[in-house]
Structures are given as C-alpha cells and as structure tokens.
Amino acid sequence: MANLKEVRTRIASVSSTQQITSAMKMVSAAKFRRAQNAIIGMRPYAASLQEIISDIGEGQGTFTPFHAVRPVHSVVIVVVTSNKGLCGAFNSNVIKLAQQRIEHWQGEGATIKLACMGRKASEFFSRQKNLSLTSYDEFLDSPSFDAIAGLADNLMADFAAKGIDRVEVVYNKFKNSLTQIITCEQWLPVESVGGKAENGERKANNDYIYEPSQEEILREMIPLTLRSTFYRMVLDSLAAEHGARMNAMQKATDNATELIKDLRLSYNKARQANITNEIIEIVSGSEALKG
C-alpha cells in the first residue's frame, strides 16, 4: 500500500485536475449555448431556401453549372474538425470517415484534394504523402459567413470551370449535446431534394409567380443556397464540438470525483493501519516493561 505522503500528493493532483475539467465544462457550456442557438436559427432558413429552389427547378432542366453531373476525375473533400482537443472521439470519427472517402475515390482513380477546417484534421493529413491539402483553420476561431462564403465561392468557381468534378463535406452534424452524427454530404454537384409526401410521392409544387424569369432566379439563388448550406454545415460542426467537449469534461470531472473517493479511502486505510501499528508497538512495549 502506498505511503501517506504519496496518497496525499495524488489526491492533491487529482483535485487540481478536477477543478480544471469542471471549469472547462462551464466554458464549453457557455459556448455550446451560443453555437446551439446559431445552428437552430440557421437550419429553418437553409431548409426553406433549399425547398424553394428545389420547387423552382423541379422538371425545368439544369439552369446552372452547379447541377452538372460528369465523370469524377477530381474530388475535393472538405474535412471539418476542431482546432482544439479534449472533446472525446469528435475529431477521430471525422478523420476516420474522411480517410474512408479518400480511399474510396483513390480506388476510383480520382485525384484527391483536401480542404481542412480545424487543426486536428490539418495535422493528421499533413503527414500523409500524395495528398494536396489546404488549411483553413483560422475560420473556426471566429467563424463568419463572409469568410466561409468566400471559400464556398472558390469551390463553386473551380467546379464551374471543370477544375473539380465533385465536392464532399465530412463533418459532425449536431443533434443534441450528447449526440453528434458523423456525416459525409455531397455539396457539388447540386442534388434535387424536392419535398416528398409520406407515401414517397412528390408533393405538388407551390404556385409561384416568377419575376424575373424562372431561369434567372435559379442562377441567382443556387449560389446563395450553396453558401448557406456550407455555412450551416460549419455551424453544425461547431455546435457538435462544444457539446462533445462539454460532455467529455463532465465525464472527466465525474471520473476525478470517483478517483478522489477511492484515494481518500485508501488514505484512511493506510492512516488507520499506521495508528494500529503504533498502538500495537506501545502496548507491546508496555507489556515488556511489566515483565
């Protein structure tokens, strides 16, 4: 059994760690609340915009270059992780799925380009050879629509110029503070996701009045929809990150609490054993003197 000094030192060390994890949990909880409000506010707008665009374009053919489906020779995979750790399996799950997508497209003979948002992904994939990698880690420090929309515009321009044939985004979709859904979402080319009824049939289109023409509206609205979707995915990842870190720090705090209890029990047992030994020595000495 460890001596009393070692146990006391261990208790002090674990107590210090417990204070740190508890403070980090409170910080993550505050950030999580803001990120949750942001994604909850963004989702209805993005979903409604996507539904309207799908209704407008339903059955009208392809009006923008962003719908063009062609043989895939060049793929951009956008990997969204975090800049910091201590969030459980949040980053490792995204990296694992991104690695699977890389292997899939390499097997198809496509050229892979990575756009990493988050230092964890950048650090991991920078160690791999034969991968073209661009980092946008600074976007997550203070995410703004303008900065993220700028990246989206660059990708759209490359796709329209046929420099790339497909763009996928790998990220954690936010569900709640305890659950993140690992997602790989096709961003380009645009997929028609028109609304469907419960029986699987297409819902009737809304009776829109177009001014200006339907084609011109699509040309203006599709890029806006793509920017909003891209921004929504980043907000999803941020909310999921803070939720994962808050949960991880709560578990770490609980584990530290249990460990402190065990250490204190061990300390008390060792202390009682020392006291018992001292009493035995005193009694033995007293009996020796009597004899």
pTM of the full structure: 0.82
Burial class (CB in 10 A: 0-12, 13-18, 19+), 41: exposed
The mean of the pLDDT values for the chain is: 85
- Contact assessment for residue 166 and residue 72, using Cβ atoms and an 8 Å cutoff: yes
pLDDT at 241 over 90: yes
What is the percent of the chain where pLDDT is above 70? Answer: 89
State both tokens at 212: 């200006």
How far is it, in rounded angstroms, from Cα 16 to Cα 22?
A: 10
Dump pLDDT digits (tens) for 81-134.
Answer: 999 988 989 999 999 999 999 999 999 999 999 999 999 999 999 988 888 899
- Contact assessment for residue 174 and residue 39, using Cβ atoms and an 8 Å cutoff: yes
Domains of the chain: 25-193+205-246 (3.40.1380.10)
* The pairing of beta strand 166-176 with beta strand 74-80: parallel
Instruction: Mark out the alpha helices in the chain (DSSP H runs).
Output: 4-57, 90-107, 119-125, 145-160, 214-290
pLDDT score, position 71 = 92
- Contact assessment for residue 32 and residue 243, using Cβ atoms and an 8 Å cutoff: yes
pLDDT at 31 over 50: yes
pLDDT at 195 over 50: no
Dump pLDDT digits (tens) for 37-84.
Answer: 888 888 888 888 777 776 665 555 556 788 888 999 999 999 999 999
Q: In what order do the strands lie in the sheet with 74-80?
A: 132-135, 111-117, 74-80, 166-176, 179-188
Q: Which residues are catalytic?
A: 87
- Contact assessment for residue 230 and residue 152, using Cβ atoms and an 8 Å cutoff: yes
How far is it, in rounded angstroms, from Cα 282 to Cα 213?
A: 102
Instruction: State the virtual CA torsion across 169, 119, 13, 10 in degrees, nearest 10.
Output: 70
pLDDT at 271 over 50: yes
